[in-house]
A and B are shown apart, each in its own frame.
Chain A
Amino acid sequence: MHRRVSCQSDQIRKREKIKRMADITKKVVTGNHAVSYGALLSRAEVIAAYPITPQTEVVEKLSEMVANGELRAKFINVESEHSAMAACIGASATGARAFTATSSQGLALMHELLHWATGARLPIVMANINRSMGPPWNIWSEQTDSLAQRDTGWLQFYCENNQEIIDTIIQAYRVSETVYLPAMVVLDAFYHSHTMEGVEIPNQSAIDAFLPQYNPIYKLDVNEPHTFGGLTSPEWYYELRYKIQSAMDKSIKVIKDTAREYEKITHRKYGLLEEYRTEDADMLIVAAGALSETVKEAVDLLRQKRKTRIGLLRIRTFRPFPKEDIKKILKNVEIVGVIDRNISFGNEGIFFQEIKSALCNEKIKPGIYGFIAGLGGRDVMVEDIIGVADILAKPGNKKDIVWVGAKI
Chain B
Amino acid sequence: MKEVIFYGRGGQGAVIASRILAVAAFKEGRHVQAFPFFGVERRGAPVTAYTRIDDFKIRKRGPVTKGDYIVILDPTLLDMSEIVKHAKRDASVIINTNKEIKGSVSSGDVKVIAFDASMIAVNNSLGSQNAPIVNTTMLGVFSKITGEVAIDSVIDAISENISVKKDSNINAAREAYEKAKK
Which chain B positions have C-beta within 8 A of A382? Answer: 60
Chain A, range 325-376, C-beta contacts under 8 Å to B: none
Contact A296 B38 (CB under 8 A): no
Contact A16 B63 (CB under 8 A): no
Cβ of A65 < 8 Å from any Cβ of B? no
A-B contact count (CB 8 A): 59
The stretch that binds B, out of A169-177, A188-196, A203-211, A391-399, is: A188-196
A290 CA / B38 CA spacing, docked (Å): 15
Which chain B positions have C-beta within 8 A of A191? Answer: 61-62
Chain A 371-392 interface 0/1 with B at a Cβ cutoff of 8 Å (1 = within): 0000001011110000000000
Cβ of B34 < 8 Å from any Cβ of A? yes
Chain B 43-83 interface 0/1 with A at a Cβ cutoff of 8 Å (1 = within): 00000000000011111111100000000000000000000
Cβ of A306 < 8 Å from any Cβ of B? no
Cβ of B164 < 8 Å from any Cβ of A? no
In the complex, which of the residues A13, A196, A377 contacts B56, with contact meaning CB atoms closer than 8 Å? A13
Contact B59 A293 (CB under 8 A): yes
Chain A 202-229 interface 0/1 with B at a Cβ cutoff of 8 Å (1 = within): 0000000000000000000000000000
Contact A293 B61 (CB under 8 A): yes
Cβ of A21 < 8 Å from any Cβ of B? no
A13 CA / B23 CA spacing, docked (Å): 20
Which of B26, B29, B60, B61 has the most CB atoms of chain A within a 10 A radius of its CB? B61
Contact B32 A16 (CB under 8 A): no
Cβ of A10 < 8 Å from any Cβ of B? yes
Cβ of A197 < 8 Å from any Cβ of B? yes
Contact A197 B33 (CB under 8 A): yes
Chain B interface size, as a band, is 20 to 34
Chain A interface size, as a band, is 20 to 34
Q: With A195-B34, A196-B19 given, is the CB distance from A294 to B58 under 8 Å?
A: no
Cβ of A26 < 8 Å from any Cβ of B? yes
Contact B40 A139 (CB under 8 A): yes
* 6 extra interface residue pairs, beta carbon distance < 8 Å, beyond A26-B26, A28-B32, A194-B38: A16-B57, A28-B34, A196-B32, A294-B62, A380-B62, A381-B62
A143 CA / B164 CA spacing, docked (Å): 38
Contact A297 B59 (CB under 8 A): yes
The distance from the CB of A314 to the nearest CB of chain B, in whole angstroms, is: 12
Closest B residue to A198 by beta carbon equals B26
Contact A14 B56 (CB under 8 A): yes
Q: With A10-B56, A28-B19, A196-B22 given, is the CB distance from A290 to B61 under 8 Å?
A: yes
